[in-house]
Amino acid sequence: MTIATSPLADTFQRLRAFDELCRANIDVHRADGWLHLSDVPERGLDELFAAVIRPGPRRRDYAGATVAATLVDALVSTALPPLLLERRLPDVSPANVSVLLHETEWWFTQVSLHEPLCWVLPSDDAAADSSVCVVAEVAVLHRRLAVTLADAVTPWFDAIRARAPFGRRGMWGQLADDLCGSALWTARASGLDPNAAWREANAILDHVGEAFAELRVRPRRFPVRWSGGESLWQVKGTCCLWYTTADDHSDDDAFCTSCPLRPDDVRHERLRDWLETNAASEAS
């Protein structure tokens, strides 16, 4: 069951109406298979590493990168869309989050928040609700999310680094990539201005960078011109090492479209072709 009588639950319901990647709910019944994120890193990491490696031979550095990115995304993809679209920031501290690991793969199929607490602005219609805390301005929401993410991932990154040869700077870079990528995805799915979403993601990263010098690399903007105008994408600052899972590392398809190792001209062509094909499919 989910709690359907809270402002945050209402927000998640609206998000699911147009965002196929929205996995967040409030107080979902959690049976076997759920991992409480407050139990990471003391337990759960070995299970996640095993899930990444299970489909076939996987390098330990790739496994480390993937586990770090998956944990980060559980928090970012839950918190950032409602912040960008409705100025409602959920409590994504690990003590309030459980995730459901796919039965055979390495990704989380659901994210459950135990309590519907969220922070909102004074103009929010739900400002008087008992489950919300009111803050003065958007910058406070940015700072709170930055602190919550940094506090959560620091022990995770240390524990992952102890298990795999993937550095902490790379993991902080993945955090930056995920924040900016999630912002752009939300903008495309909802019609939000992608430039505004990009600026907000970087404003959050500014707060993270003030406290953690290991956040040195961020993604860069990558505008793509096509028949429908201009679409904003990103080039990641950190390689996720997906190409290492391919039999042939020189195969063009082994690299993500946003991979920093991919040439920009090939990236532009791929994204432009995808946009044209997608637009034609929607028009037919």
HEC per residue, 212-255 = CCCCCCCCEEEEEEECCEEEEEEECCCCCCHHHHCCCCCCHHHC
| CA–CA separation, 66 and 136 (whole Å) | 37
Give the residue from 218, 248, 264 where a domain finishes. 218
Distances (CA, A) of 94 to 35, 41, 148, 149, 230: 10, 11, 9, 9, 38
Model pLDDT for residues 74-109, shown as the tens digit of each residue = 999 999 999 999 999 999 999 999 999 887 777 899
Q: What is the pTM of this model?
A: 0.93
Residues 101, 24, single domain; the answer is: yes
Closest CA to 91 of 79, 80, 100: 79
Which element (helix H / strand E) includes 168?
helix 168-190
Residue 284 lies in a domain: no
Q: Which of 35, 20, 92, 27 is nearest to 67 (CA)?
A: 35
Q: Is the pLDDT of residue 24 over 90?
A: yes
What are the Cα distances from residue 111, in Å, to 36, 64, 78, 150, 197? 10, 21, 8, 19, 23
99 and 202 co-located in one domain: yes
196 and 239 co-located in one domain: no
Give yes or no: residues 183 and 236 share one domain: no
The answer to the question of residue 1 being in a domain is no
Total domains, the chain: 2
Same structural domain, 196 and 267: no
pLDDT digits (tens, 9 = 90+) for 35-81: 999 999 888 888 888 888 877 778 899 999 999 999 999 999 999 99
What is the C-alpha separation between 233 and 220, in angstroms, rounded?
9
Q: What share of the chain is helix, strand, coil (3-state, %, to 5)?
A: 50, 15, 35
Task: Give the end of a domain, one of 218, 239, 258.
Answer: 218
Q: Are residues 226 and 194 in the same domain?
A: no
The domain that holds 81 is classified in CATH as 1.10.510
The residue with greater pLDDT, 48 or 253, is 48
**Same domain assignment for residues 174 and 187:** yes
Residue 23 placed within a domain: yes
Distance of alpha carbon 180 from the chain centroid: 8
| Residue 104 and residue 187 in one domain | yes
Assess whether 269 and 198 both reside in one domain.
no
DSSP 263: -
Same-domain status, 73 and 110: yes
Range of the domain at 234: 219-279
Tokens of 77: 């993809």
Residue 2 pLDDT level (bands cut at 50, 70, 90): very low
End-to-end CA distance of the chain: give it in Å, rounded: 39
Question: Does 2 fall in a domain?
Answer: no
Determine, yes or no, domain membership for 87: yes
Domain final position from 199, 218, 237: 218
Q: Are 201 and 183 in contact (CB under 8 A)?
A: yes
